Amino acid sequence: MKVLVCGGAGYIGSHMVRRLSRDGIEPVVFDNLSTGHREAVGDAPFVQGDLLERDDLRALFAQYRFDAVMHFCARSLVGESMTQPYAYYENNVAGTLNLLQAMHEAGVGKLVFSSTAAVFGVPESDLIDESHPRQPINPYGASKLMVERILEDAGRAYGLRSVALRYFNAAGASPQGDIGESHEPETHLIPNMLRAATGKGPSLKVFGNDYATPDGTCVRDYVHVDDLADAHSRALAFMATHEGAHAFNLGNGSGFSVLEMIRAASDVVGSEIPYDLAPRRAGDPDRLVASSAKAQRELGWAPRYTDVAEIVETAWRWHRQPRY
């Protein structure tokens, strides 16, 4: 079996490439390296290209015959999406349309799509399940929701089988410490905490302390990157027996505030994490915590990493000596 991994040189994609290889499935990585790292791919076949370039996709699908596609390519910064919405709709929506059209022309009928909790907007319940209204409050979430709707239409029109996996907060790194999260600029909480702890980054900024949460800082649900890779593997198997478009929420089901995460990271590294308060970022909801009951029921998926300190510990192994 051969699977195209779009964005396979990125954070989550590189962990997925490793999981596919371990499962005896051949991954082929397609990435423009705008945020990914060639070193993260290892020995997997690699093609440099861009979803916005249709000729790149035609050449890719002419070179390989794929059984399925996993799509990790996206602009994914909420704050940036508020100031550069055109870039988000072009990359996340138009780029995905190019990919879907190339798949259709090549007769590839299965797609696992990286979606996001941002499709839901402001939560109306403590735990967000798949029945929650999808009302994004930022262009990033809106662009992902548009793709989800395109996949639903493609299922009806062309018979495309798809699974959209809505991540809450991807976190952690390979337990071996050899691949991990490396962005520039870095906007995610855990790597920025650990960069501050090593002195390789500036003092951590906590964006807002006046949210409607117990300590005033945002509450998020953190799910380990290897648990996300496991969900993708299960989604691939799920599509073998399920037609149409499907969506699943992926999280731990537990929420932790920014200040709680700082305390957990301080315990892991053995020293205080310095931080400064900063104004709220536009487009950030107070609380995002998943109900993954549907994924557990239909995919047989459950997170293996349920202790947030253990998640931080895997990231700490990477950040102490990053390879790229």
Annotated catalytic residues are 140
Strand 256-257, strand 219-220: pairing: antiparallel
Q: How many CB atoms lie within 10 A of CB 214?
A: 10
189 in Cβ contact with 222 (< 8 Å): no
Q: 39-44, long-range: CB within 8 Å, 24+ apart, which pairs?
A: 39/323, 39/324, 40/9, 40/10, 40/14, 40/179, 40/324, 41/8, 41/9, 41/14, 41/17, 42/17, 42/18, 44/5, 44/8, 44/17
Strands 2-6 and 26-31, sheet pairing: parallel
Burial of 225 (0-12, 13-18, 19+ CB in 10 A): buried
Pairing of strands 219-220, 46-48: unpaired
Under 8 Å CB-to-CB from 59, ≥6 apart: which residues? Answer: 49
What's the rounded Cα separation, in Å, for the pair 163 and 152? Answer: 10
Q: Is the peptide bond before 85 cis (omega within 30 degrees of 0)?
A: no
Given a contact cutoff of 8 angstroms between Cβ atoms, the answer to whether 112 and 250 are in contact is no
Pairing type for strands 204-207 and 275-278 reads: parallel
Distance separating alpha carbons of residues 189 and 172, to the nearest angstrom: 11
Phi and psi at 305, nearest 5°, equal -95, 100
Cβ atoms of 167 and 115 within 8 Å: the answer is yes
